[in-house]
Structure 1
């Protein structure tokens, strides 16, 4: 293998990251120095073009990794030191497993637990994965992510072969994900498609996204339907992301004037309901369906976290209605009237946002 050129398809959850960060996530044995040398000599390429470590990559692009130094000989390759976990931590991560087979685990990630670590994030799920490896098995590998405050189904590969297959499914859009969300207000189009490009919001250090229909915007599509409504106060919605942009569901629902309940980062005070409704984010990865590397499919549903279930009960929603629509039944309003209403909702939300900005400047 060390004498062969390898090609990798950028997965949906690596969309928009720097190339050097991709190597750190996916080929950690290739250090920054090695990657830089490949770039300087023109051996590192993305979609056939020369690339540098600082280039941003997009889902679906092909990364060419040269053979030199790609893999150290097995006898001298340094072994990754396993994370020392407490018995409670091992018991905790094992309690999250809702599906297990020789190729994969599916976990029901709780809200408030980051998927991966960062500069200020030391407590995260990736650190706990050694608790699923056992004494001799390979360490499981994340193949996609959920936001820290989003709960629900998260796939973890148990072998390198499975990780490659699952990553291909995510980047090729054959994997299907269904989210449940509670949103403020009720969308005027009850079964629709949000097709609005997204980009990083300037001045936020890349921490926030926004709708950008200019040259920086990347295509983003979300299919949604209203499951139940509580008058005009709130709606329980099903969301199916057909692309994998950062914070896509949160930004798209805000764009049509209905922020996800608890999402103060994007919706501000409009994202919170009065009364007994929790202030936590109400966004849950309810279902994941993906092709299995050995044939067939993994199709798993994840139970709601306590705060989300309590909110549905408080609003009088019937949980049995949530899984009523078959996953393959994609119906949405593409009629002229449906498109007009969707566009009107977006325009109204933007006018409200601009009005709020003007008010802030007056009182600033």
Structure 2
């Protein structure tokens, strides 16, 4: 990833917040193994301010789409409060293997870590876990492959919530090597995209609503499910 690329991925900008289209495969923050991260490129998004913006919420490394950045400390605090209070409106697109028989529904399954290791991000459903709720809606189906295009709205924001919830229902997200059937290496890539982000950031103004275009690795599958050509 190069600086020119991150500038081209800017979807929204005002005095407090930036929203970018994060590419799949790029972690936001450095991990224990090091490597390329989004954070390394955020200086290109200062736009005259003394400090680079910071991510106000999480997106998994392999998830693409809308990521909100606070442009300074006060802005970041306001954004963090929106996400902590569940006021940010998030819609994800996913291609899943198989799919529900119904057209709409919700998944209400508590989640907890698979192990006591604080470094582990792998999750599981467990009645003793944290309450976790996902609402879903069928956007289209591909009879040839048996796959389904879902719009997912996480009411809570647990780690890997959408991936675990879909897998627990018997329709894992395509390309998921942890909770689905994809190989650990050389798979099709996780077909999960943060499509829309709504931020009620200003009390007397409409909600900021931003959309990120479908990523390249998902377009063929989405088209097979009925997404109109770009």
TM-score higher than 0.5 here? yes
Tell me which residue corresponds to 1:305. Answer: 215
1:1-364 equivalences under 5 Å are 89-134=2-47, 136-202=49-115, 206-214=120-128, 217-231=129-143, 233-269=146-182, 279-293=188-202, 295-296=204-205, 297-313=207-223, 315-319=224-228
Conserved 8 A contact 2:141-2:225: no
Conserved 8 A contact 1:181-1:283: yes
Query: Following the alignment from structure 1 to structure 2, what is the Cα–Cα distance between the partners of residues 239 and 199?
Result: 20
3-state DSSP of counterpart to 2:165: helix
Query: 1:92 deviation in Å?
Result: 2.1
Query: 1:317 deviation in Å?
Result: 1.6
Query: 1:136 deviation in Å?
Result: 4.5
Query: Following the alignment from structure 1 to structure 2, what is the Cα–Cα distance between the partners of residues 207 and 106?
Result: 25
Conserved 8 A contact 2:96-2:147: yes
Conserved 8 A contact 2:10-2:19: yes
Query: Following the alignment from structure 2 to structure 1, what is the Cα–Cα distance between the partners of residues 42 and 9?
Result: 11
Distance 1:318 1:92, change over 3 A: closer
Query: Following the alignment from structure 1 to structure 2, what is the Cα–Cα distance between the partners of residues 136 and 183?
Result: 42
Distance 1:319 1:307, change over 3 A: same
Query: 1:293 deviation in Å?
Result: 4.2
3-state DSSP of counterpart to 1:166: helix
Query: 1:93 deviation in Å?
Result: 1.8
3-state DSSP of counterpart to 2:181: helix
Q: Deviations over 1:49-74 (max 9, x none)?
A: xxxxxxxxxxxxxxxxxxxxxxxxxx
Larger % of helix: which? 1
Q: Deviations over 1:196-239 (max 9, x none)?
A: 0000012775231000112xx00100000111112271100000
Query: Following the alignment from structure 1 to structure 2, what is the Cα–Cα distance between the partners of residues 115 and 300?
Result: 19
Conserved 8 A contact 1:96-1:109: yes
**Bigger radius of gyration among the two:** 1
Larger % of strand: which? 2
Q: TM-score, normalised by structure 1?
A: 0.58
Query: 1:134 deviation in Å?
Result: 4.2
Query: 1:280 deviation in Å?
Result: 1.1
Conserved 8 A contact 1:177-1:289: yes
- Aligned length, in residue pairs: 224
**RMSD, matched Cα:** 2.1
Distance 1:123 1:209, change over 3 A: same
Query: 1:294 deviation in Å?
Result: 6.8
Q: TM-score, normalised by structure 2?
A: 0.90
Q: Structure 2: which 5+ runs fail to align? A: none
3-state DSSP of counterpart to 1:265: coil
